[in-house]
Amino acid sequence: MRKKEDKISSRILSLIAKAGEPLETVEIEGLLKNVSRVKILYRLHQLRGDGKIKGKPVGSGKGTWIWWKGG
């Protein structure tokens, strides 16, 4: 098991829950100031693996993902 969620993960969960619609990675990056893209992507995939959010790739191989509240 992982330690308690860190601040970045908590902020991501809050943003996704408040959005009411799926968010693209770039939208999440824009809302999280002073956090690197690498950290954001790592946390998003970690949260997805834990089943707390859902995500899927969209587009043609550009690495674009959409994220939404998990079930």
**CATH topology for 7-69?**
Arc Repressor Mutant, subunit A (1.10.10)
Q: How far is CA 3 from the centre of its chain?
A: 18
What is the reported pLDDT for 1? 41
User: Which pLDDT does position 59 carry in this prediction?
Assistant: 77
* pLDDT over 60 (residue 2): no
How confident is the model over 24-71, as pLDDT tens digits? 999 999 999 899 999 999 999 999 999 999 999 997 767 789 999 986
Token output for 4: 């308690």
Closest CA to 9 of 53, 66, 63, 54: 53
pTM of this structure? 0.86
- What is the pLDDT at residue 3? 57
Does residue 22 carry a pLDDT above 70?
yes
Q: Cα–Cα distance between 26 and 65 in angstroms, integer?
A: 9
Q: Are strands 23-24 and 64-69 parallel, antiparallel or unpaired?
A: antiparallel
